[in-house]
């Protein structure tokens, strides 16, 4: 890890927040911009879990990006929020002597969201200044303010109130847009979740000497629900199977017909033991929350297959 611990000094001068992590998801380096944006220090976080720096579901997104980046050597782009600030994140692999030893995450504030909020802020400030000036003038004694002048100031105050209402409407549309974005994020691409789940445990499988084969049918339909939660459940299932020291694990995803409705079926197959434990509680709870069904079957050859059927959109 020497290549990671000696982070390039150039990162210290970037205005954008940067964090470097090792393949195990531990913090190796923070630049000053990250320290300021996230109200922490390198000394306080170095060597600790990367997930602790983030909030809610963003923790899983960050860890999944690091795992994918380190295992595949590919850059990953995603979005997170921190204290109501939106960031676009680029996770890129770090290689030392041809070996991938970590990932660097570059955070840039979402420009569209920031610009829109800044415009609303400026509009509210102008309206507030105008309304304040109008109220100051209207507070003067009648002897110092004629009827026409008073009427003009009242008109100006009403115009400022209209501007404030317009700004409130803009904020509402921004909030609605974020809600629609969250709604879009509540759909699951089964093929992607399967690949990301396998990538998330790839190091553990390789270290244990387990062969993992993945077969995914092209153009699978989408499933409604939380993709991060399903990925977490699949990783838990794979780790549970890995704990029983199999030689191999197969994972497949395909579309099936059931009761004239489309279903996506995920199947995790391993050599047993046939009487071993079923799926972890997290898996059963997640499948139930997604409106699916879970079943464990034993084949004629003794192999065990865990079937997860989820309703397609």
Q: What is the pLDDT of residues 22-37, one digit of tens each?
A: 988 899 999 988 998 8
- Residue 121 is predicted with a pLDDT of 82
- Half-sphere exposure of residue 55, counting CA atoms within 13 Å on the CB side? 10
- Residue 260 is predicted with a pLDDT of 64
Q: Which residue has the higher pLDDT, 116 or 197?
A: 197
243-269 in b/e burial notation, b at 16+ Cβ within 10 A?
eeebeebbbbbeeeeeeeeebbbbbbb
- Its sign, for the CA torsion 20, 23, 27, 29, is negative
Cis peptide before 226 (omega within 30 of 0): no
For the beta carbon of residue 291, count every other beta carbon within 10 angstroms: 12
- Residue 254 is predicted with a pLDDT of 93
- Residue 185 is predicted with a pLDDT of 53
- Residue 102 is predicted with a pLDDT of 87
Looking at the DSSP bridge assignments, the partners of residue 254 are 265
Q: Which residue has the higher pLDDT, 101 or 177?
A: 101
- Residue 293 is predicted with a pLDDT of 92
Q: Mean pLDDT score of the chain, rounded to an integer?
A: 83
Q: What would the pLDDT profile of 239-285 be if each residue is shown by its tens digit?
A: 999 888 889 999 999 998 766 677 899 999 998 765 555 688 899 99
- The packing angle between helices 227-242 and 190-200, to 10°, is 40
- Residue 1 is predicted with a pLDDT of 45
Rounded to a whole number of angstroms, the CA Rg of the chain reads: 27
Which residues lie closer than 8 Å to 93 by C-beta, 6 or more apart? 69, 70, 73, 74, 75, 100, 102, 103
Of 115-124, 180-189, 297-306, highest mean pLDDT: 297-306
Domain assignments of the chain as residue spans, ordered by start = 2-109, 112-185, 187-311
For the beta carbon of residue 222, count every other beta carbon within 10 angstroms: 14
Q: What is the mean pLDDT of residues 166-172?
A: 78
Superfamily of domain 2-109: PAS domain (3.30.450.20)
Cα–Cα distance between 37 and 82 in angstroms, integer?
Answer: 9
> For residue 96, is pLDDT > 80?
no
- Residue 302 is predicted with a pLDDT of 77
Looking at the DSSP bridge assignments, the partners of residue 216 are 253
First to last CA, the chain: 45
> For residue 237, is pLDDT > 70?
yes
Domain 187-311 belongs in CATH node 3.30.565.10: yes
- Residue 268 is predicted with a pLDDT of 94
Q: What would the pLDDT profile of 1-13 be if each residue is shown by its tens digit?
A: 445 544 455 677 7
Q: What is the mean pLDDT of residues 276-303?
A: 85
């Amino acid at each position: 890890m020497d290549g990671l611990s000696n982070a390039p000094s150039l990162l210290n001068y970037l205005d954008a927040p940067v964090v470097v992590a090792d393949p195990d998801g531990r913090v190796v380096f923070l630049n000053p911009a990250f320290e300021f944006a996230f109200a922490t220090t390198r000394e306080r976080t170095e060597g600790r879990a990367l997930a602790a720096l983030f909030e809610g579901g963003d923790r899983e997104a960050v860890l999944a990006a690091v795992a994918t980046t380190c295992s595949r050597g590919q850059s990953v782009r995603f979005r997170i929020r921190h204290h109501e600030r939106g960031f676009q994140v680029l996770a890129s692999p770090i290689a030392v002597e041809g070996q991938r030893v970590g990932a660097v995450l570059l955070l840039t504030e979402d420009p569209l969201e920031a610009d829109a909020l800044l415009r609303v802020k400026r509009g509210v400030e102008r309206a507030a200044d105008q309304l304040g000036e109008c109220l100051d003038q209207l507070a003067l004694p009648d002897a110092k303010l004629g009827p026409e002048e008073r009427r003009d100031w009242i008109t100006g105050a009403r115009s400022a109130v209209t501007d404030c209402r317009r700004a409130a409407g803009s904020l509402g549309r921004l909030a609605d847009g974020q809600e629609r974005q969250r709604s879009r994020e509540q759909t699951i691409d089964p093929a992607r979740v399967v690949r990301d789940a396998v990538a998330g445990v790839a190091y553990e499988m390789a270290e244990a000497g387990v062969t993992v084969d993945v077969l995914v049918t092209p153009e699978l339909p989408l499933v409604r629900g939380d993709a991060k939660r399903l990925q977490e459940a699949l990783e838990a299932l794979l780790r549970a199977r890995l704990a029983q020291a199999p030689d191999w694990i197969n994972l497949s995803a395909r579309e099936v017909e059931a009761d004239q409705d489309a279903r996506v079926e995920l199947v995790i197959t391993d050599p047993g033991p046939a009487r071993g434990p079923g799926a972890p509680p997290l898996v059963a709870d997640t499948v139930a929350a997604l409106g699916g069904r879970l079943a464990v079957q034993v084949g004629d050859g003794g192999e065990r297959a865990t079937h997860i059927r989820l309703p397609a959109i």
